[in-house]
Structure 1
Amino acid sequence: MRSKIFAAVVATAVASTACAQTIAQQPQTGAPKLIVAISVDQFSADLYDEYRPHFTAGLKRLSSGVAFRNGYQSHNATETCPGHSTILTGSHPSRTGIIANGWYDLSQARSDKSVYCVEDERVPGSSSIAYTVSPYHLRVPTMGDRLKAVSPTSRNVAVAGKDRSAVMMGGRAVDQRWYWDGKTFSTDLKGVATPRSVTAGKLAIANAIAQDRPPLELPEFCQGKAKDIPIEGYGSPVGANSFARKAGDVRSFRASPEFDGATLALAAALIDEMQLGHGTATDIISIGLSGTDIIGHGYGTEGAEMCLQLLSIDRDLGDFLRLLDRRGIDYSVMLTADHGGQDIPERRRQQGVADAARVDPKLTAKDVGAAVGTQLGLKGPVLYGEGSFGDMYVDRALSPGDRARAMSAAVAMFRAHPQVEAVFTHEQLAATPVPTESPTGWSLIQRARASFDAERSGDFVVLLKRDVNAATRTPGYVATHGSPWDYDRRVPILFWRQGMPSLALESPVETTDILPTLAATIGLAIPAGSIDGHCLVAVAGDRCTLR
């Protein structure tokens, strides 16, 4: 049994608005009237390679265009916010300023020193968990921002399962932005009327959640993956969830194939109501599909749960593209991911990866900071950081001398741990040039440099060894990403347009190459030196000469 929420939400939302004339689409030339930029959260190139022979609908169609199986989120901090910040800006996190999902600002007066990437901490009472959504921290324009600056009649729309996905792909100059807030789809835009299709779509989603959902039937290909895998120190095994859900269970709805179907349906309804692709100028809609990430964290990447998820995305994307076809829209599609992901170490060891392991639960900023404090006789937290890897910040409340001693001791402790591959200091990263060569040859310090911002980055950054999984075995979080290794860095990058020649390319490219490539296809000039990416000739041809 397949999830039918895409069809249900579209039927309800589209019925509330007048639709464009239905016309059969023909091969197109010139600038497309609608760019559809899709990010499938945690859709690694490894998953793409594994499942590509089994795609029959939307992902099969997109793979028939120009398909790069070796795309790279080249930086070290392979998380949702930094990854999405590269896709439509053409820039690495070192330029976008989005170094992680969250970082620390120890100069803040508030007790919560952490900052969420789409938080505006200037709002009174804001915290990293109770915040006003904002693009405040994004230092560079997105494609939609650039497009509207030169063509004010263009529309820029963002729909996503996460606020950070919608903000980082949409940017500042958005006409509509909708994202899941934990209960329904919400927006941060003030003074913008809610489209009728969104109101109808939200009602259809609420009605679907209010009903029991029977289990999804496993296709034959998925049945071989339906094996319970016990998790060390965790109650429930993973590997055979069929996504049955009790009425009203919002959390289970979000962690299921239904979630991305609802996001795509809302995007389709907005395209219809706003008549995107039917104006005199090119429009853009960015779509963030978050279900693969939520399922990857909750169940790992190689079980029946992920199998059901990816085959469901394929079908829902097929329905979405056919709807655009029926509307007669001259559109082009780009699909990629914000990062990859690592499967649970328990299953990886069964598959022969002997070094797959969970991180030492005491290898955290809090625990290492406490150990340093004990060793040096220092009070306070000593060290701030998110878990066991990434940016670490030495307490600013310490005297300069104590800060220097604490820094030295903390770096030494992390470097001595058998699960740590490297530690780079702020000074080392600042002295390292941003790499410009092929991402396959970047050293670890170059990968870390691409995530480095002098103002926001920590006093040092910790990189774990390959095959060390930093997930903490809590419900919904048994596997993770965020490492500098290629299972987290390598993602597919697909371009499709009606009539486009089919090319399957092995050459390495970067997600920063997406913006200049899409810009070239619509004649949007990008000032030289303002981005890190390069136009892909295989997609845009001689239009890549535009600056």
Structure 2
Amino acid sequence: MKLKNCTALIAATLCLAGPAAGLAQDSAPAVQKVTAATPAPKLLVVVAVDQFSADLFAEYRSHFTGGLARLASGVVFPAGYQAHGATETCPGHSTILTGNHPAHTGIIANNYYDLSAARADKKLYCAEDETAPGSSSKEYVASIDHLLVPTLGDLMKARDPKAQVVSVAGKDRAAIMMGGRRADELMWLTPKGLTGFKGVTLSPTAQQASAAIAAAIAEPRPGLTLPADCASHDIAIPLDTGGTVGTGRFARDGGDFRRFKASPEADGAVLATAAALRQVRKMGEGSGTDLLIVGLSATDYVGHGFGTEGSEMCLQMMSLDRELGDFFAQLDATGIDYEVALTADHGGHDMPERNRQNAWPGAQRVDPALDADAMGKAVAEELGLPQPLLYGDGPFGDMYLAKSLTPEQRRAALAALVARYRAHPQVEAVVTGEELAQWPISKRAPDVWSLMDKLRASYNPERSGDFIVVLKPRVTPIPESGVGYVATHGSVWDYDRRVPILFWRKGLIGFEQPNAVMTVDILPTLAAQIGLPVDRTKIDGRCLDLISGPDDSCR
């Protein structure tokens, strides 16, 4: 989607907002080197690319020529970490602009269980209001109620109510967990275009964008042309349920939202919307600093649906680089002094079938017997306990014992379940909630964290399970590969924890710091850039000095 030329369907509609406001680029003052004394940027742009692992960044870095190449010329932390153990979308996004681990944000997983919930469905989606009448974890009302801490935008609005905060994303949990409670506009993609919180009417510009996106979804799309750089990735991998992945080009039928959101077109729609909202709201043109948040979800859908090493991901990486380049070019044309931070909510791992072809024969899929329902049923029958005995969102992660158990039954069930899980050859460890409650949150660099350190950073005593199951490395927690879902993330291992953290601003002298930092460091770093006081006792992160040499941006 060529944003600056407004040639694509969605961008053409958004161009009705009028020409970009602000200073023309050729009339802007000469770029000055950024120092600790440089005034705060007028616009912060925070981009989260879902499932953009440090491995993907490293693999494609030499091929980038657009927006990602620009960011790679800035301040680069290639060894960033989503330090916690539950490396899923919701927990990861909750760390980026709060400065806190999931243990403190309360967002311990995409889904967790509250067996005391009033409704029949005890599973809770991380970004829902479970008290909404008739709701379930699948048919839910989106809400930010589960987030326990403020975001950067919330803190900016508390200091200056005139500060503008806009959050646009491909997924609701991305827009919500980064946007916070006080965002002026907050929205995400749906089959009908864009939507926001129930009862909140989209602004005229957002409605225009929504209509354009809906029209684009309704149109069929031919396949993309495979660049020469992607030719080596063009290898078909058979699926257990029939068909193949690895050679896709993102062709789709009209109205196919599932394929739309798992394509570069979805990221282009989000970026076009963000650009239009910035333009109409004149963000970055006032006396203070505004915050524009962009959540790009297509990389995650591509990773899940096709794996991380096929032609599909190569096309996605090339497109993401180009789309971000067009987006930054439009910002450049305004003359606004803006600063970008880009990272990811988690990493990801390729499908085991391709791993086995490419020098990792030990990669495997999970045994269905490890699923919470199956394990709970087996132990309940063995001990003569009532069913259902065990609740969990799959074969690993947080596991919850039924509330109906007596203390004696509970002890017996816990001992039997822990022993059964630990005996399975695909299980690395099982840790109880009692053990984690006594373990301090680590203050060390995340690359040296123990297994307990990782799990503790995701543990919240009010929401976490009675015990947590950890699968061994490269055990994909999907029993069989099928269309739309062949690979995933969520483990404690570094391929899921490691993400790039990149900062760029005109005049900011680039450097690379390969030592491990964390996504919880982003909030205090950006807060320092705009002179926003942060109570360091209430966050887990630290400010990263973005100025090369003896000067210090963490003022």
TM range (shorter): over 0.9
Counterpart check, 1:180 vs 2:180: no
Partner of 1:117: 126
Report the 3-state secondary structure (helix = DSSP H, G, I; strand = E; otherwise coil) of the residue aligned with 1:339.
coil
Asked whether the equivalents of residues 74 and 505 of structure 2 are also in contact (C-alpha less than 8 Å), the reply is yes
User: 1:141 is paired with a residue of what secondary structure?
Assistant: coil
Separation in structure 2 between the aligned mates of residue 278 and residue 369 of structure 1, nearest angstrom: 58
Which residue in the other structure is 1:140 paired with? 149
Quote how far apart the aligned CAs of 1:134 are. 1.1
Deviations 1:414-437 (A, max 9, x none): 101000001100110001000000
CA contact (8 A) 2:20 2:333 kept: no
Partner-residue secondary structure (3-state), 2:536: coil
- Of the structure 1 ranges 10-19 and 429-438, higher mean CA displacement relative to structure 2 is found in 10-19
**Bigger mean CA offset, 208-217 vs 480-489:** 208-217
Could you tell me whether the CA contact under 8 Å between 1:260 and 1:313 is conserved in 2? yes
The residue identity in structure 2 corresponding to 1:274 is R
Matched, 1:89 2:89: no
With over 3 angstroms needed to count, the CA separation of the structure-2 counterparts of 1:169 and 1:542, relative to structure 1, is farther
* C-alpha RMSD of matched pairs (Å): 1.8
SS in 2 for 1:315: helix
The alpha carbon displacement at 1:78 in A equals: 0.2
Counterpart check, 1:396 vs 2:403: yes
- Equivalent position of 1:165 in the other structure: 174
Q: CA deviation at 1:463?
A: 0.5
> Which range moves more in the overlay, 12-21 or 140-149?
12-21
Identity of matched residues, %: 54
Q: In the alignment, what sits opposite 1:490?
A: 498
* Counterpart Cα distance in 2 of 1:311 and 1:452: 37
Deviation of residue 526 (structure 1)?
0.3
Q: In the alignment, is residue 12 of structure 1 matched against residue 13 of structure 2?
A: yes
Aligned-partner SS, 1:401: helix
Q: Write the letter of the residue equivalent to 2:107.
A: I
Q: CA deviation at 1:9?
A: 2.0
* 1:380 paired residue among 375, 387, 394: 387
1:205-256 CA-to-partner distances (Å, cap 9, x unmatched) read 222222221110000111111110113x221211001111122222211111
Q: 2:351 aligns with which of 344, 351, 360?
A: 344
Distance 1:335 1:51 in 2: 16
Matches within 5 A, 1:260-409: 260-409=267-416
TM-score norm. by structure 1 comes to: 0.96
How far residue 10 of structure 1 moved from its aligned partner, in angstroms, is 2.5
- What is the DSSP-based 3-state SS (H/G/I as helix, E as strand, rest coil) of the residue aligned with 2:84? coil
For the Cα contact (< 8 Å) 2:307–2:350, is it kept in 1? yes
Distance 1:495 1:539, change over 3 A: farther
Contact 2:284 2:337 in 1 (8 A): yes
* Deviation, structure 1 residue 379: 2.0
Contact 1:6 1:265 in 2 (8 A): no
User: For residue 10 of structure 1, what is the amino acid of its counterpart?
Assistant: A
Are 2:232 and 1:224 equivalent residues in the alignment? yes
* Residue aligned with 1:48, SS: helix
Conservation of the 8 A alpha-carbon contact between 1:391 and 1:461: yes
SS of the residue 1:538 aligns to: coil
| Paired residue type of 1:420 | V
- Counterpart contact for 1:163–1:181, Cα < 8 Å: no
Superposed CA deviations along residues 27-81 of structure 1, whole A, max 9, x for unmatched, are 3631001100000000000000000000000000011100110000000000000
Q: Residue 31 of structure 2 is aligned with which of 13, 27, 30?
A: 27
How big is the shift at 1:108?
1.4
Shift of 1:445: 0.8
Q: Distance in 1 between matches of 2:228 and 2:72?
A: 23
In the alignment, is residue 524 of structure 1 matched against residue 540 of structure 2? Answer: no
1:416-427 correspondence to structure 2 within 5 Å:
416-427=423-434
Q: Does the 8 A contact of 2:91 with 2:107 survive in 1?
A: yes
Aligned to 1:210: 218
For the residues of structure 1 that align with 2:43 and 2:482, how far apart are their CA atoms? 41
Report the CA distance between 1:8 and its aligned residue: 3.3
The letter for the 2-side match of 1:40 is V
Q: 1:471 aligns with which of 455, 478, 481?
A: 478
Residue 349 of structure 1 and its aligned partner are, at CA, apart by: 0.8
Q: Which residue of 1 aligns with 2:35?
A: none
How many angstroms does 1:130 deviate by?
1.5
- Point out where structure 1 has 5 or more consecutive residues left out of the alignment: none
Deviation per residue, 1:72-127 (Å, 9 max, x gap): 00000000000000000011001111000010000113210001101111222222
Tell me, in whole angstroms, the C-alpha distance in 1 between the residues paired with 2:257 and 2:437.
Answer: 44
Amino acid at match of 1:502: G
Displacement of 1:273: 0.9
Unpaired segments ≥5 residues, structure 2: 33-37
Residues 1:158 and 1:250: Cα distance change in structure 2 (over 3 Å): same
- The answer on whether the counterparts of 1:159 and 1:178 sit within 8 Å (CA) in structure 2 is yes
Tell me by how many angstroms 1:539 deviates.
4.7
Pair 1:254-2:261 in alignment: yes
Q: What letter corresponds to residue 531 of structure 1 in structure 2?
A: I
- Measure, in 2, the Cα distance between the counterparts of 1:454 and 1:155: 35
In 2, are the aligned partners of 1:6 and 1:261 still within 8 Å (CA)?
Answer: no
| Whole-angstrom CA distance in 1 between matches of 2:466 and 2:204 | 49
Moved more, 504-513 or 315-324: 504-513
Spell out the pairing of 1:452-471 with structure 2 (5 A cutoff): 452-471=459-478
* Counterpart secondary structure, 1:224: helix
Q: CA deviation at 1:485?
A: 0.4
State the 1:6 CA deviation: 8.0
Match of 1:503 among 499, 511, 524: 511
Q: Give the secondary-structure state (helix, strand or coil) at the position aligned to 1:529.
A: helix
In structure 2, distance between residues paired with 1:37 and 1:542? 24
**Distance of aligned partners of 1:309 and 1:6 in 2 relative to their CA distance in 1, 3 Å threshold:** farther
Letter in 1 for 2:423: A
What letter corresponds to residue 31 of structure 2 in structure 1? P
CA distance in 1, matches of 2:327, 2:198: 26
1:171-202 deviation digits (Å, cap 9, x = unpaired): 101100010234321010645x5323222222
Amino acid at match of 1:185: L
CA contact (8 A) 1:433 1:449 kept: yes
**How far, CA to CA, are the matches of 1:264 and 1:82 in structure 2?**
23
Q: In the TM superposition, what are the counterparts of 1:142-157 in structure 2 within 5 Å?
A: 142-157=151-166
310-319 vs 194-203, which moves further: 194-203
Structure-1 separation of matches of 2:451 and 2:6: 43
Whole-Å separation in 2 of the counterparts to 1:428 and 1:539: 41
8 A contact 1:517–1:539 mirrored in 2:
no
1:183 is matched by which residue type in structure 2? K
Distance change in 2, residues 1:539/1:236 (3 Å): farther
